[in-house]
Copies of this chain bind each other. A is one copy, B any other.
Amino acid sequence: MEKKFVKEVTAMDEDFAQWYTDIVTKADLVDYSSVRGSMIIRPYGYALWENIKGALDRRIKETGHENVYMPLFIPESLLQREKDHIEGFAPEVAWVTHGGTEKLEERLCVRPTSEVLFCEHYKKIIHSFRDLPKLYNQWSNVVRWEKTTRPFLRTLEFLWQEGHTAHATDEDALEETVKMLNVYGEIAENYLAIPVIKGQKTEKEKFAGAKLTYTIESLMHDGKALQTATSHHFGDGFAKAFGIQYTDQNGELQYVHQTSWGFTTRVIGAMIMVHGDDRGLIIPPKVAPTEVMIIPVAQHKEGVLDHAYELKEKLSNTFRVGIDASDKKPGWKYNEYEMKGVPLRLEVGPKDIEKNQVVLVRRDTGEKLFVPNEELEVKITTLLEEIQQSLYDNAKKKMEAKTHVEKDYDSFKKTFKENQGFVKAMWCGDQACEEKIKEETGVTSRCIPFEQENLDENCVCCGRKAKHMVYWAKAY
């Protein structure tokens, strides 16, 4: 019994959460298993991740970093070495207590992040200023014991890269923190077509053990914000907890200054919620597993399939091309690859062959173009660039349209009651205001953006003198 091609999706403006769940499963990105809160990343989802990972890994290497691999397990005593860090992570780690039939003398935690392992290693291998900087990165899986999970956005296990660096001075470490945040911004904006706000997390929202945390924040279709990637400056906090010292040019012992930065499978969730529509995914060409999907029309007619396969062969030199020559009806195929967000569909049938042309259909706009064969490669190149740019521009427009400025607390609350989105508002810097806002509205400070604007003199919450402009939003 063949499965029917029935893929109904909840309308996004009706129930966005359900729309998201429909999309990730029906576009074959993920599946569930009997492992609570974990996801199976299916071939289409994993190919997408491989493209994103490839682009980021190149940039990580170009900026002088080297890949390494640290152990999955962390002995409990090692995790406890830095106080803020263990306080932040202890509630959400998985504990291994038995190996085979034997009870372990010391519990092992499954890494939620690997700062302490890098610190232990750095203590061993850093001796002199000549050993600095150490610019390491690792691609790995990590586990955080989350209660409520959603594919990509919050899962018990996820895939990521975590950079961990050690520097001679605080300034060097700070520079690194900014540099890698900018690399994340590049990947988000230029590859995933997701516009981001760059800024600093407040004390309340920063990473456990960090001196400061930088973040890129983006806005989803439903107006909720998503922390898309973060970069942390540790100062010498970890270095002191672990005793990581080097001898400087004057023969004096100094502590190193450290950073860490992470980028996860979560961005796939962001990509879905920024670009998707009621017909499914829309994947930016630069990371699309398939850029062009060929659908032969009237493929039973002589010469059609041969011609379609020749096209595939030819175009595959330049683009990531697929072909669906299955016996499903073309209309079903159209739905399938719209659901999967393939940027361009290429239809070719007997009439097109006769006219020496093909039909190209854009996933983002639905626009249909008749393209002569001799112009095909140039046209596809141009179209893919246009789609990439247009996805970014539209997302940016949407984000701007959903970004409000508020100066008093009543309108601040009213805005979040009526709309979602970013609110730019001034803040006194007092954590009490942040907590009050969160309690009364569910809204959190997303970041203190690098690009500050002096919107007002006073804090939107308490009315005291303002220190920073902050982006506020409800967040994933």
Residues of A within 8 A of B (CB): 1-3, 31, 33-35, 38-43, 46-47, 49-50, 66-75, 78, 90-102, 107-108, 110, 117, 120-121, 124-125, 127-128, 130, 136, 140-141, 143, 145, 156-157, 159, 247, 251, 326
B157 and A33 contact, CB distance less than 8 A: no
Write out the residue numbers on chain B whose beta carbons fall within 8 Å of the beta carbon of A110.
72, 96, 110
Question: Does B46 contact A68, Cβ atoms closer than 8 Å?
Answer: yes
In the complex, the answer to whether A96 meets B95 with C-beta atoms within 8 Å is yes
Given A33-B71, A43-B67, A72-B143, 9 new contacts (CB under 8 A) = A1-B127, A35-B74, A40-B121, A41-B69, A94-B98, A94-B99, A95-B96, A98-B107, A102-B145
What's the nearest-Cβ distance from chain B to residue A28, in Å? 9
Q: Which 4 A-B pairs have the closest CB atoms?
A: A38-B71, A43-B66, A99-B145, A41-B69
In the complex, residue of chain B having the shortest beta-carbon distance to the beta carbon of A38: B71
Residues of B within 8 A of A50 (CB): 67
Residues A40 and B69 in contact in the complex (CB < 8 Å), given A3-B127, A95-B98: yes
A75 touches B120 (CB 8 A): no
A327 to chain B, nearest CB (A): 9
Q: Of B100, B125, B247, which is within 8 A of A145 by CB?
A: B100
Looking at A41, A72, A97, A156, the one whose CB has the most chain B CB atoms below 10 A away is A72
Known: A69-B159, A100-B92, A127-B3. A136 touches B43 (CB 8 A): yes
Q: How far is it, in angstroms, between the C-alpha of A91 and the C-alpha of B102 when the chains are bound?
A: 9
Whole-angstrom CA separation of A251 from B251 in the bound complex: 81
Which one of B74, B90, B101, B125 contacts A100 once the chains associate, using CB atoms below 8 Å? B90
Do residues B95 and A97 form an inter-chain contact, with CB atoms below 8 A? yes
Inter-chain contact B3/A128, CB cutoff 8 Å: yes
With the chains together, A71 CA to B68 CA distance in Å? Answer: 22
Q: Which of B72, B121, B124, B157 contacts A157 (CB 8 A)?
A: B72
Contacts of A121 in B (CB 8 A): 31, 33, 40
Contact A94 B96 (CB under 8 A): yes
In the bound complex, what is the Cα–Cα distance between A140 and B140 (angstroms)? 8
B67 and A46 contacting across the interface, CB-CB below 8 Å: yes
Nearest-neighbor residue (CB-CB) of A2 within chain B:
B128
Please indicate the chain B residues that have their CB under 8 angstroms from the CB of A128 in the complex: 1-3
Select the residue from A47, A78, A95, A136 with max chain B CB neighbours within 10 A: A95
Chain B residues closer than 8 Å to A67, beta-carbon distance: 43, 46-47, 50
- Which chain B residues border A108 with CB–CB below 8 Å? 35, 94
| A71/B127 in contact, CB under 8 A | no
Q: Contacts of A91 on B, CB cut-off 8 Å?
A: 100-101
**Contacts of A90 on B, CB cut-off 8 Å?**
100-101
Contact at B157–A73, with CB atoms within 8 Å? yes
A47–B66 CB distance below 8 A: yes
Contact A33 B70 (CB under 8 A): yes
Q: Are A33 and B120 in contact (CB under 8 A)?
A: yes
- Which residues of chain B are near A101, meaning CB under 8 Å? 90-91
CA distance A90 to B68 in the complex (A): 30
A-B contacts, 21 of them at CB < 8 A, read A1-B128, A2-B130, A33-B71, A34-B75, A35-B71, A35-B73, A40-B117, A40-B121, A43-B66, A43-B136, A46-B68, A47-B66, A49-B69, A73-B156, A91-B101, A94-B96, A94-B98, A96-B97, A98-B107, A99-B145, A140-B141
